[in-house]
C-alpha cells in the first residue's frame, strides 16, 4: 500500500524537465485521477538550480549510502543529503513508501525507467509501465542490493528513477518534457491500481528489459587525454544492439575501434555530458525478459 | 593578402568541437594543401576548459569592445581578453589578417558561418563557402560596424565565427566535429585561393544568406519565471521559415503562442543552452541573397 509518495525533481540542478514538471504540478495541481494518492512534490537541490549546474560541490545523487549519510563530510550536497534523508527517509526505516526521482540525460535514451531491484513488485511496475507506455525502456540496476546504492530515491521504502533524453543540460525540450510527464503519470497510475488491489504479476505480460553491465571508458593517452570520440554510427543508438565488430569509437587520427565483446550488448548513457570528468563513454547492458 | 591567420578554439570552454579540432591539428598537422598559409592554432580560455564551463566569470566572447579592452574590469575573462588582444590584435590596428573563431551550439544550426560584414570580401567568402559546402548556413550579423562588436574574432583585421550544432555543452559529437572541420578547411581553401588571386565576386554564384534580426525572449511571469517552452514543432527548426500563425511556444498550462510577425522569419539559436540566464528563446533573421 502506497500511503506516502514523494515525487522529486532537481536532484541535478540543470536537469530541467523534472524540475518543470514539479513546478507545473505545484502550480496547476496533479491530474484529478490521482486524488486518492498522497503525493508530495519536491525540488531537491535549489542551490544547484539557482546556479544552473548539476551540483555545487558533489553529486547529490551519490550521497545516499549509509556511509555517506553517517559521514562528517561538510560539502553542500553531503549536508543536503542528510536533510533530505530526514525528509524522505530515514533510509532503511523510511516513512515514505515510494520515492520517484526524475532525471534527464544528454544521451538519446528516450523515456527510461530505472529500477534497482527485479523482485515481484518491480517486475509488476516494469511490466505495467511497458504495457501502458510501449516506447519506454526498462533498465534494471540490481548489481548490488537496493540499500547499497547512493541514489536519493533509496531514501524511500521503494525508489525508482525516471531518466529521459536526449536533452542538453539547462535546456527544456517539449518532447522530453512530455515523455517525462507521461512516465510519471503511468507510475502514479500504477500506484492507484496497486492500492486498489488491481495489480497481479500474472495479468501483466512479460516485457523486454535491460540489466546494467559495466561502464566503458573513452580510450585515453598516457597523459589521460581522450584519443577518440563516440563513432558517428554509434551516437544516439542507446538501447540498440551493439554487435561484435561494430564501431564504437573513432580515434582522432581516423581509425575505428570496434566492440570486441563475445556477444551483443545494449549500450546506454552514450556520450552523456555529466560523465565527462569520469571519461565514461557509455554503459553496457544485457537484454532480458522481465 | 592573408599573411597571418589565427584559428581559435575554446573561446567558450565547454564547446568541444573547436577545441578538439585545434588539438588534432596541433598533434597531426594541418592538411598539407594549406602549407603556404601562416596559420596559428590557439586555445583561448584554458581555465574555462579545465572547469568544463563556458566561462569562469564573464563571457569572454563579449569582452572585445574598445570600451571593454580599455576598462579596469579585473574579471578573469576581462583580463584574458586584454592578453588575447595583444596576441591577435591589437583591435583596430591588428597584426593578424584573419581570426577564425570556432564555436558550437545546442541549437540545430548545422554548420553556420557567421559574418560581421556584407562587403565585397565577405560576399566572396560567404559565396565560396556556400559553393563548396552547400549544406552550410551563412549568417550575417552586420547590425553594427565590425569594430563595435565585442567578439574575440574582431581582434583581427578580419574575423569570422564558425558555429555548429546541435551539440550539448561538454559533449563531442562526431557529426558536429566533422562539419566543423569541413567548414574550417573550406575557409582555409578560400584563403589559399584568395592569396593566389583566384577569387572574384563575378565568378562566384550568389547564394542564400540570413541577416540577424532580434532576440526573442521566453514569455515570463511577473516574478520573472518562464511560463512557456519552445513548441515541439518549432524545436530543431533553425533556419526554417517560421510563418505568421505558426506556433513557437507552448505555455505550461497547455496553450500555443504563435509567431505574430507580419511576415516569415528565419529563427536560429532556438533553445540555446548558453542563453538560459538571459531567457533568450531564439533569434530572428531575414533571408536575402548574398
pLDDT digits (tens, 9 = 90+) for B36-48: 999 999 999 999 9
A168: nearest CB among B106, B172, B277: B106
* The three cell numbers locating residue B233: 514543432
Strand order in the sheet with A247-251: A228-230, A247-251, A256-258
| Minimal-distance CA residue of chain B relative to A234 | B174
Give the whole-angstrom CA distance, residue B62 versus residue B23.
Answer: 24
B168: nearest CB among A106, A172, A231: A106
Listed in sequence order, the residues at least 6 apart from A98 whose beta carbon sits closer than 8 Å to its beta carbon are A2, A4, A5, A6, A156, A157, A158, A159, A160, A191
State whether residue B173 sits within 8 Å of chain A by CB. Answer: yes
Residue B241 confidence (pLDDT) above 90: yes
Listed in sequence order, the residues at least 6 apart from B214 whose beta carbon sits closer than 8 Å to its beta carbon are B283, B284
pLDDT category of residue B65 using cuts at 50, 70 and 90: very high
Sign of CA dihedral B66, B72, B73, B77: positive
Residues of B in contact with A252 (CB under 8 A): 20, 23-24, 27-28
Question: What confidence score (pLDDT) does residue B216 get?
Answer: 97
Question: What confidence score (pLDDT) does residue A202 get?
Answer: 87
Cβ atoms of residues B270 and B235 within 8 Å: yes
Could A174 and B231 be called an inter-chain contact, meaning their C-beta atoms sit closer than 8 Å? yes
Residue B266 confidence (pLDDT) above 90: yes
Question: What confidence score (pLDDT) does residue B25 get?
Answer: 98
Q: Which domains does chain A have, with CATH numbers?
A: 5-206 (3.40.630.10), 212-289 (2.20.25.160)
Cβ neighbours, 10 Å, residue A143: 12
User: What is the rounded average pLDDT of the residues B195-220?
Assistant: 95
Question: What confidence score (pLDDT) does residue B112 get?
Answer: 98
Cβ atoms of residues A77 and A59 within 8 Å: yes
* The three cell numbers locating residue A176: 522530453
User: What is the rounded average pLDDT of the residues B216-234?
Assistant: 97
The percent of residues above 70 in pLDDT, for chain B, comes to 100
State whether residue A223 sits within 8 Å of chain B by CB. Answer: no
| ipTM at complex level | 0.94
Is A222 labelled a binding residue? no
Question: What confidence score (pLDDT) does residue A132 get?
Answer: 98
| Minimal-distance CA residue of chain B relative to A281 | B171
Task: Look at residue B32 and give its three-state secondary structure.
Answer: helix
Interface test with A, best of B46, B229, B251, B277 (most A CBs within 10 A): B229
Closest approach of A133 to chain B, Cα-based (Å)? 20
Judge residue B112's burial from the number of C-beta atoms within 10 Å of its C-beta, 0-12 exposed, 13-18 middle, 19 or more buried: buried
Sign of CA dihedral B109, B111, B115, B120: negative
Cβ atoms of residues B226 and B279 within 8 Å: yes
How does the average pLDDT of chain B come out, rounded?
97
- Is A141 among the catalytic positions? no
pLDDT category of residue B277 using cuts at 50, 70 and 90: confident
A173: nearest CB among B24, B27, B235: B235
Give catalytic residue positions of B: 163
The residue from A163, A264, A272, A286 that is catalytic is: A163
Cβ atoms of residues B9 and B102 within 8 Å: yes
Comparing C-alpha atoms, which of B20, B30, B28 is closest to residue B177? B20
Question: What confidence score (pLDDT) does residue A83 get?
Answer: 98
Sign of CA dihedral A122, A128, A132, A137: positive
State whether residue A174 sits within 8 Å of chain B by CB. Answer: yes
CA angle, residues A54, A59, A62, in degrees to nearest 5: 140
* The three cell numbers locating residue B265: 522569419
State whether residue A252 sits within 8 Å of chain B by CB. Answer: yes
Give the whole-angstrom CA distance, residue B236 versus residue B230.
Answer: 10
A vs B: CB pairs below 8 A: 86
Question: What confidence score (pLDDT) does residue B86 get?
Answer: 97
Q: Which residues of B contribute to the annotated binding site?
A: 12, 15, 103
Could A28 and B253 be called an inter-chain contact, meaning their C-beta atoms sit closer than 8 Å? yes
pLDDT category of residue B276 using cuts at 50, 70 and 90: confident
State whether residue A62 sits within 8 Å of chain B by CB. Answer: no
Q: Which residues of chain A fall short of a pLDDT of 70?
A: none
Question: What confidence score (pLDDT) does residue A78 get?
Answer: 97
Question: What confidence score (pLDDT) does residue A270 get?
Answer: 98
Sign of CA dihedral B58, B60, B64, B69: positive
Listed in sequence order, the residues at least 6 apart from A96 whose beta carbon sits closer than 8 Å to its beta carbon are A4, A5, A6, A88, A89, A155, A156, A157
Count of positions (residues) in chain A: 290
Residues of B in contact with A168 (CB under 8 A): 106, 166, 168-169, 273
Amino acid at each position: 500500500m502506497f500511503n506516502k509518495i514523494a515525487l522529486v525533481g532537481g536532484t541535478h540542478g540543470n536537469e530541467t524537465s523534472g524540475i518543470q514538471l514539479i513546478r507545473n504540478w505545484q502550480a496547476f495541481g496533479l491530474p484529478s485521477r490521482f486524488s486518492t494518492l498522497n503525493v508530495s512534490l519536491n525540488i531537491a537541490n535549489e542551490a544547484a538550480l539557482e546556479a544552473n549546474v548539476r551540483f555545487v560541490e558533489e553529486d547529490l545523487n551519490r550521497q545516499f549510502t549509509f556511509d555517506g549519510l553517517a559521514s562528517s563530510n561538510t560539502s553542500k550536497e553531503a549536508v543536503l543529503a542528510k536533510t533530505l534523508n530526514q525528509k524522505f527517509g530515514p533510509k532503511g526505516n523510511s516513512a515514505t513508501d515510494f520515492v520517484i526521482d526524475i532525471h534527464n540525460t544528454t544521451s538519446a535514451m528516450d523515456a527510461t525507467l530505472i529500477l534497482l531491484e527485479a523482485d515481484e513488485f518491480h517486475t509488476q511496475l516494469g511490466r505495467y509501465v511497458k504495457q501502458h507506455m510501449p516506447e519506454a525502456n526498462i533498465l534494471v540496476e540490481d548489481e548490488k542490493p537496493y540499500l547499497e546504492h547512493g541514489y536519493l530515491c533509496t531514501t524511500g521504502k521503494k525508489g525508482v528513477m525516471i531518466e529521459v533524453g536526449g536533452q542538453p543540460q539547462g535546456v527544456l525540450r517539449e518532447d522530453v518534457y512530455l515523455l517525462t510527464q507521461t512516465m510519471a503519470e503511468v507510475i502514479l497510475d500504477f500506484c492507484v491500481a496497486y492500492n486498489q488491489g488491481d495489480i497481479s504479476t500474472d495479468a501483466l505480460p512479460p516485457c523486454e528489459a535491460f540489466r546494467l553491465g559495466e561502464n566503458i571508458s573513452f580510450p585515453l593517452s598516457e597523459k589521460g587525454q581522450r584519443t577518440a570520440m563516440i563513432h558517428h554510427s554509434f551516437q544516439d543508438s542507446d538501447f540498440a544492439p551493439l554487435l561484435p565488430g561494430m564501431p564504437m569509437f573513432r580515434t582522432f587520427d581516423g581509425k575505428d575501434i570496434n566492440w570486441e565483446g563475445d556477444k551483443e550488448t545494449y549500450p546506454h548513457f552514450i556520450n552523456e555530458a555529466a560523465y565527462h570528468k569520469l571519461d565514461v563513454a557509455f554503459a553496457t547492458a544485457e537484454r532480458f525478459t522481465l
